[in-house]
Amino acid sequence: MDYKALNYDFPPYRPPNESTSALIRASRGCPWNKCLFCTMYKTLKFKPRPVEEVKEDIDKAAKIYKGARTVFIADSDSLVMKDIEEIIRHIKLRFPDIDRITSYARAKTLMKLGVERLKRIREAGLTRVHVGLESGDKETLEFMQKGATPEEMIAGGNAAREANLELSFYILIGAGGTDRLEEHAVESARVCNEVNPNFIRLRTLVVQRGSLLGEKKNSGYYKPTSPMDKLKEVKMFIENLEVNQCELASDHFTNNIWVDNKVVYRGVYGRLPQEKQDMLDILDHTLDFLSTIEGEILDATILYERGMIHSL
Ligand code: SF4
């Protein structure tokens, strides 16, 4: 499909599980844009798009993604838009068979919008929000300039849940570095336990060229974790989880571990609490296996640094 010919403003980022969704760009950029590890919208000033322009894109998207059952709204925090309900209602009008409408959202935005406004957004048709928790550790969040405390993350997550929105929390493995590995793992689990999100998605931190975190790393303020550390961190995080009816997914290739050129670990997936032990067993088994092998153990960070991975 030639999106350019249709003059369709195509969002640059979406979660992997929205890869087959119709993509609607309601705003451009991120209103916060300060997280140390993030390079997504650094060259862009946040701007809500005019509603009429977005509606035209929805009309075009309905032709491009004929029969789509899922729609994703971008960029990073479009729920801050005062007209977001109108946009969501237009999506429902043009995609009458829709099962799911989702959006990225900052936890602090959810907290500020509050339960009543979120209920109106839910009634308009939004069904799920994807939220970057990254860490439940106060110091790690501060260091990463996430702009929200763990308690604000909890308040935002709970507001979404109370408004009957499905919630997907993203955890950034490695965010605490070696210095705060344990606090990051344990406190991230605590925040998840307080909120009980529907989904927990793991992302492994890769320090990207040009990111502010790269400067911190070069000056020794951020100490990256090894592949084995990362597995231990995931294990500690899952051990401390006490959530119900929650699905955990490692649905991004940055979670993989390689030995030489072969992927030997593709992350853990499972329902919580039912499959908690299965996931821990996989992690134990992988740690045991890796402690005996002679080949070089590689993660996405190492491959990126060696120029073997170019984009994330
Ligand atoms: S991680 Fe999210 S909130 Fe932080 S700068 Fe990037 S898009 Fe904005």
CATH of the domain at 159: 3.80.30.20
Instruction: Assess whether pLDDT exceeds 90 at residue 248.
Output: yes
Nearest partner of 100 among 78, 69, 124, 131, judged by Cα: 69
Task: State which ligand 1 atom lies nearest to the alpha carbon of 75.
Answer: 7
Query: Which of the four pLDDT bands, split at 50, 70 and 90, describes residue 312?
Result: confident
* Run of H or E residues at 168: strand 166-173
Interval 224-237: pLDDT, tens: 999 999 999 999 99
Interval 190-200: pLDDT, tens: 999 999 999 99
The CA–CA distances, whole Å, from 209 to 191, 226, 234, 312 equal: 30, 18, 25, 11
Q: How many whole angstroms separate alpha carbon 242 and alpha carbon 267?
A: 20
The residue count for the chain: 312
In the chain, the amino acid numbered 211 is: S
Residue having the nearest C-alpha atom to atom 8 of ligand 1: 33
Instruction: Tell whether 8 is covered by a domain.
Output: no
Q: How many whole angstroms separate alpha carbon 93 and alpha carbon 90?
A: 5
The predicted pLDDT at position 44 comes to 93
Residue having the nearest C-alpha atom to atom 4 of ligand 1: 35
Kindly report the average pLDDT of the chain as a whole number.
95
Q: How many whole angstroms separate alpha carbon 184 and alpha carbon 175?
A: 7
Residue 260 · residue 296 · CB < 8 Å: yes
Residue having the nearest C-alpha atom to atom 5 of ligand 1: 33
Distance 147 CA to ligand 1 centre (A): 9
Task: State which ligand 1 atom lies nearest to the alpha carbon of 33.
Answer: 5
C-beta atoms surrounding 67 within 10 Å: 8
Task: State which ligand 1 atom lies nearest to the alpha carbon of 34.
Answer: 5
Interval 176-223: pLDDT, tens: 999 999 999 999 999 999 999 999 999 999 999 888 999 999 999 999
Q: How many whole angstroms separate alpha carbon 157 and alpha carbon 166?
A: 10
Alpha-helical regions (H) of 163-275 = 181-195, 212-218, 227-239
Mutational pocket test of ligand 1: of 14, 27, 30, the residue with most ligand atoms within 8 Å of the beta carbon: 30
* Run of H or E residues at 169: strand 166-173
Task: State which ligand 1 atom lies nearest to the alpha carbon of 134.
Answer: 1
Buried b (16+ CB within 10 A) or exposed e, 277-303: eebbebbeebeeebeeeeeebbbbbbb
Mutational pocket test of ligand 1: of 34, 76, 108, 142, the residue with most ligand atoms within 8 Å of the beta carbon: 76
Mean pLDDT in residue range 114-140: 98
Mean pLDDT in residue range 35-57: 95
Residue having the nearest C-alpha atom to atom 6 of ligand 1: 38
Nearest partner of 220 among 175, 172, 177, judged by Cα: 177
Instruction: Tell whether 76 is covered by a domain.
Output: yes
Question: Within 13 Å of residue 163, how many CA atoms lie on the same side as its CB?
Answer: 27
Instruction: Tell whether 7 is covered by a domain.
Output: no
Mean pLDDT in residue range 28-52: 95
Percent of the chain beyond pLDDT 70?
98
The CA–CA distances, whole Å, from 270 to 4, 179, 242, 251 equal: 39, 29, 14, 11
Domain encompassing residue 56: 16-305
Task: Please state the domain count of the chain.
Answer: 1
Instruction: Tell whether 149 is covered by a domain.
Output: yes
Pocket of ligand 1 (CB under 6 A): 30, 32-35, 38, 40-41, 76, 106, 132
The predicted pLDDT at position 1 comes to 59
Task: State which ligand 1 atom lies nearest to the alpha carbon of 30.
Answer: 8
Q: Is 156 exposed, middle or buried (0-12, 13-18, 19+ CB in 10 A)?
A: buried
Instruction: Tell whether 144 is covered by a domain.
Output: yes
Instruction: Tell whether 197 is covered by a domain.
Output: yes
Residue 167 · residue 217 · CB < 8 Å: no
Task: State which ligand 1 atom lies nearest to the alpha carbon of 146.
Answer: 4
Instruction: Tell whether 150 is covered by a domain.
Output: yes
- Residue 166's contacts (CB-CB under 8 Å, 6 or more residues apart) are 102, 127, 128, 129, 198, 199
Interval 257-304: pLDDT, tens: 999 889 999 999 999 999 999 999 999 999 999 999 999 999 999 999
Nearest partner of 56 among 81, 26, 76, judged by Cα: 26
Percent of the chain beyond pLDDT 90?
90
Instruction: Tell whether 312 is covered by a domain.
Output: no
Interval 90-104: pLDDT, tens: 999 999 999 999 999
Residue 104 · residue 140 · CB < 8 Å: no
